[in-house]
Structure 1
Amino acid sequence: MNYLRTILCLICICQMGQVYSQSYTLIWEDDFNNPILDTSKWNIEIGTGVNGDWGTGQIDRATERPENISISNAIPGASGSCLVITSREEHYIDREYTSGRMNTEGKFSWGPGHRIVARVKPKDIRFMGQGFAFWMLPNETPSDTNYIMWPQGGEIDIMEYVGAIPYHNLGSVHYAYDWANNEWQSWNHVHQGFYYSYETEQVPDPSEPGYGNYPPPIGSPFAGSSEFHDYGIDWFDDRIEFFIDSTVYHIHYLNDGAQFTADGQDESEISLTTGKRIGLSEYSNHFSEWHPFEHQMYLVLSTGVGGSVNTYGGQ
């Protein structure tokens, strides 16, 4: 049986100081040092998504079995126990792969004024078609409805690591151009994201590294699968700053004109003003009905196998 493991040793949420300085107060954490998963914090998702598809075309079935979600100790590089999310090549019900997927929906959620960070090692994600994501979805809805459509509600991908791009992580936001009556429209999607190079600790050049150079050598210092790193965001009223360890590599501004000319256009560029290549993007407040990154969101942890073209690392 083939398997791949993603290991998390800590997730913590901090409240920023009133002036959003570099002063933080820890308000929530899970260090996974209990022998079983704390279900007062986490929901375990099972199945294959809506109509057999989580939205990326992946081909695994998420389960609640300890084979897919477990707590383990004696993990090299960790100070205590760790959450281990495992994908396996095995026949289970109707799929040939299984995986783990969990979230904090309805239990814990956060918005502007918080630092959100996880310490993660995607240990065995080294080939195309393998992936792990640490991300966020809306926990609030407009007052006149009990749901909000994707991507009108927004999505924050703090960590999106795939085996097909082993030397880089993608930090990004998804949102909509138009409210569109809170309904799905194929044209109504904006993605603003930048990659982080583990080798140079900045946005790479070229900024879109593309699939390739996999599998990385085991233990390669420049592959994300080799080491634990801190993946996080500082979420301000007007922007979201994506960082790995102590390096900010993508800043997304919520309002038109916050970084570029106020012209009603979604824009992005790479800045060298700090001596490192940092991706800058705007804007996600396109319509008055809902400003996606001004509302509470919950955490999602998900590993998966396969995917359609340009999603989750490919087939």
Structure 2
Amino acid sequence: MSTPELTLEFAGWFIARLATDPDPTDEPRGVSGSTFALAGEPDLDRIIVLKDPSPAIVRSHMPPIGVTVTRATAAGAEVPALHGAAVDLLGDPVFENRNFILTFAGREPIVPFHLEITGPGLRLEREMVMWSGHPDTPVHHIPRDELEKFGGRIYRTDPEMVLAETGIGDPYESRVKRRDLLVSDLAGETDPVRVAGLRKRIRELDIAVANPQDERVINLTALEEFNFPLTGRAVADGEALGDLVPDHTRPWTVDFWMGGWDADLLCGYLKGSLTVPLRDA
């Protein structure tokens, strides 16, 4: 007999201010890759932000940042009280690849992975335990095969799936339009710091416009897929759950992709689900 489950589907835009190859992972401003901290912005910190970003890291023409529950079902029935709940990752999570030293491209884990879903009368939390029996091991000392159990399963392009979620009709044309918007913004800007930032963004988009195969274009159609169990400390409470009782003794499963990477905005799209086994009340 199958175990009854609660499934929460979620989606939305995130920010990840990270350096890209050939820059080292800890490069604070961006030098040789396709991503940069602009004049007036704080250093790149690699942190994956799913909600409430600081205004200091929000760039013009950025979509609304925030990942929320779009659907919730239990035993096939809708659970509308959970719709719209905020999805977050706690503990300043980052992609841990370190220029392919720790894992192969597209196989990096997100460390730490501490999922939180909150809303009126709702709190769900569960942590990832990456290397069972070795909880205090630094990530760079964990064997690659253990890291890859929790890393991306694959990195691939899927224009149809990614663009359907991001709303971008044509990746190349989106770079042309963004560049034109920024040129227009620049014409009316007088603040020297913002002028410097706009000029840098325009120069980077010029590279994309000159080459439709550039990563600044292609990555708008790419995604990285994840699927792994959460077996660490769990929290599940709130009246929004009603008679649903999450089982803390069984793994919860997250299945999601992150993609549609916009190098100009340092943001991307996340879509997936959390599956929580239930027990009798």
- Place the TM-score, normalised by the shorter chain, in its bin: under 0.3
TM-score, normalised to structure 2, is 0.25
Instruction: Judging by fraction of residues, say which structure has more helix.
Output: 2
TM-score, normalised to structure 1, is 0.23
